Amino acid sequence: MRTPPAVLVVPGAFLTVLAGCIAPAARSSGALSGHAVNIAAAPAHAIRLRGRCVIAPSQQPIANRTYIVRVAVGECHLTHLGMVRAEVEQQVNVALGTHGTQLTLTTADGAAVWLSAFGDTDGGGDPLRFTGAARVVGGTHRFGSVTGEARTEGVRSSGDRRGGRGEIGVVKIDGWITYQGAERSGAAERGGR
């Protein structure tokens, strides 16, 4: 008897998401706590990266008693990068009140910046609030040499389904990046949103 393809895809997707949540930590150069991000201590040539993202689920969450894994997409308006597409994979450990989140920020010209965030949550409630610290773990095209750090905070809520709104999330990012060939702009430095 053949197993329907959907049964094989869901566990594979679950493992892929979990692997994505774990793999970037191995590429980073050490532990990063929420208190480790000091914007004032950024390198002299760093560019401020600040703004907010609005995201919505792109697939159903995968959950058990301990973990909730969510995949979402949306848009961010960030200093220096402008309007970018955001792809988010978040694994919430309900038992410990922690999360690991992978963010991919893609600019209009297709260049991407990858961030790996870790931090605290208030459990699996609705709304779910989370804070953390993110390390820039890589990028593509002009961001091939990108490095940086950021504080993250956000909220995810189920919204009002009767009013037509589904689950929605908001993520605030405040940090810095640096990369080869970067030009600092006055607007980026003044922290415009």
Rounded to the nearest integer, the mean pLDDT of the chain is 76
Q: What pLDDT shows up at residue 161?
A: 47
Dump pLDDT digits (tens) for 79-88. Answer: 999 999 999 9
Taking the model in full, what pTM does it have? 0.73
* 146 φ/ψ angles, rounded to the nearest 5 degrees: -65, 140
What is the pLDDT confidence band of residue 160, given thresholds at 50, 70 and 90?
A: low
- Give the chain's domain count: 1
Residue 21 has pLDDT above 60, yes or no: no
Range of the domain at 139: 5-189
What is the pLDDT confidence band of residue 65, given thresholds at 50, 70 and 90?
A: confident
What is the pLDDT confidence band of residue 11, given thresholds at 50, 70 and 90?
A: very low
Closest CA to 128 of 152, 102, 153, 155: 155
Which tokens sit at 130? 């989370």
* Strand-pair partners of 154: 130, 171
Dump pLDDT digits (tens) for 92-103. Answer: 898 888 989 999
What is the pLDDT confidence band of residue 44, given thresholds at 50, 70 and 90?
A: confident
Cα–Cα distance, 155 to 139 (Å, whole number):
26
